Amino acid sequence: MSFNIEYILNNEFAWRKVFADRETFLQGQEGRHDLRLNVWGNHDDRSLCIVDLKHAFAPGKTCERYRFAGAHGRGGALFAMLQELDWSIDAVLDVARAAGDDAELFGLKFIKDELPGVRVFSPFSVERLKPLEAVPVRWTVRHVLRVIAHSQFEWFRCTGRYSDDYAADAAAGYGIGDIADPLGFVRRVLENPSGWRVWERGDGELSICCHTFNSNALKLKLKGGASAA
C-alpha cells in the first residue's frame, strides 16, 4: 500500500491534491496531531472525513472522527468552507472540535464521533504495535499483526483467495504468492477484524485466514524464539 503523505495543508493547491488522492495522511508538525483525510464524491457534492490519529493502535483509547458531508446541488459547499477558512487545516479542526456532534456547518452536514483506537491504522505510529520478543503461549490475530508489522518472518504469502467468481479467481491464480504489501495487510485486518483467525501449522509456520475465502501463511523469524511465560 502506498500512503499519500503530506506535511503542510494550508493552501488551495495542497487541498486540491488531497481531493485528487482521495486519501491522505497528514503528519503533524510542531505539536499538531497526525491526521487521516478521506474525500469522496465529485464536483459539487464532495464530502470530507478527518480522523485524528493521536491514539491510533491504542487499546482503551479512541480517535475522534469529523465528517463534513456534501449534498448534490449544494454548489461546492466544501470548497466554499475551505475558502472561508483560508484553506487552513488548523481552522477546519478548530471549527470541528467546537461544533456539536450533529450540526450543519457552511451548508454541510457535520457529524462528530469516535473510533476505537485499536481499530485505527497510522503509518506514523506502527511502533505502537510492539515487535514480539518471544513466541506467545496462545497466538492471537494481534500477535500476528505485530509480527508482520516488524517483518519478523522468513516469508509471508497468500495461499488462496476466493470469491463467487471462480473463473476470475482461477485467472488470477487465486492470489497465491508472496504478499508484497505487508503493512497494507496489517491495515486491512486491523480495521476490519471480523472473521480473521490464526493457528499454528508447526515448524514455526502460522496461518492467518478470514473465514475460508482469504488464506495466508508465514514462517516466523524471532530472535531466540523462546516461548513466553
**How many domains are contained in the chain?**
2
Is position 96 within any domain?
Answer: yes
For cell 485466514, the residue is 209
Q: Which of 119, 143, 176 is the last residue of a domain?
A: 119
Same domain, 113 and 136: no
Mean pLDDT in residue range 195-212: 93
pLDDT digits (tens, 9 = 90+) for 44-89: 678 999 999 999 999 999 999 999 997 655 558 899 999 999 999 9
Q: Which of 119, 138, 159 is the last residue of a domain?
A: 119
Planar angle of CA 152, 158, 159, nearest 5 degrees: 120
What ranges in 45-100 are assigned the alpha helix state H? 77-84, 89-98
Question: Residue 74: which domain range?
Answer: 5-119
Is position 228 within any domain?
Answer: no
Q: Which of 88, 119, 150 is the last residue of a domain?
A: 119
Q: Go through the chain and tell me how many residues it has.
A: 229
Global pTM value: 0.88
Is position 124 within any domain?
Answer: no
- Distance CA(91)–CA(52), nearest Å, equals 14
